[in-house]
Amino acid sequence: LAKTTQPISMDSYEGQEVNITCSHNNIATNDYITWYQQFPSQGPRFIIQGYKTKVTNEVASLFIPADRKSSTLSLPRVSLSDTAVYYCLVGEYNFNKFYFGSGTKLNVKP
């Protein structure tokens, strides 16, 4: 199982772009990279998923370098409501086993 390493916490201000980087040095060939957002006392919510290069949706962008040993979640113009814990997961869905790390607690300040 590919282990992930993320910063424990980050602070930002409203309107700024936030980049959260995740390290996954032993990622396997068939592994995807997925990011989730979790608010207190709620289940995590899927944000974005990618395999390589760049993926963008209406919420975020995901940047994955060629060696795939890391990935960066980019949140454009954050607001107070983006204060949450963000998890990076690596794995292959065919095996249906994903393990969550400690995540990054993002605190957005006014």
Q: Which amino acid is residue 67, in one-letter code?
A: D
Is the Cβ of residue 13 or residue 100 nearer to other proteins in the bound state?
100
How many Cβ atoms are within 10 Å of 13's Cβ, its own excluded? 12
Residue 50 phi, psi dihedral angles, 5° rounding: -155, 165
Q: Which residue ranges make up the site for other proteins (CB under 8 A)?
A: 32, 34, 36, 41-46, 49, 87, 93-94, 96-103
Is the Cβ of residue 12 or residue 87 nearer to other proteins in the bound state?
87
Distance of closest approach, residue 88 Cβ to other proteins, in angstroms: 12
Distance of closest approach, residue 51 Cβ to other proteins, in angstroms: 10
State how far the Cα of 44 lies from the Cα of 14, in Å rounded to an integer. Answer: 22
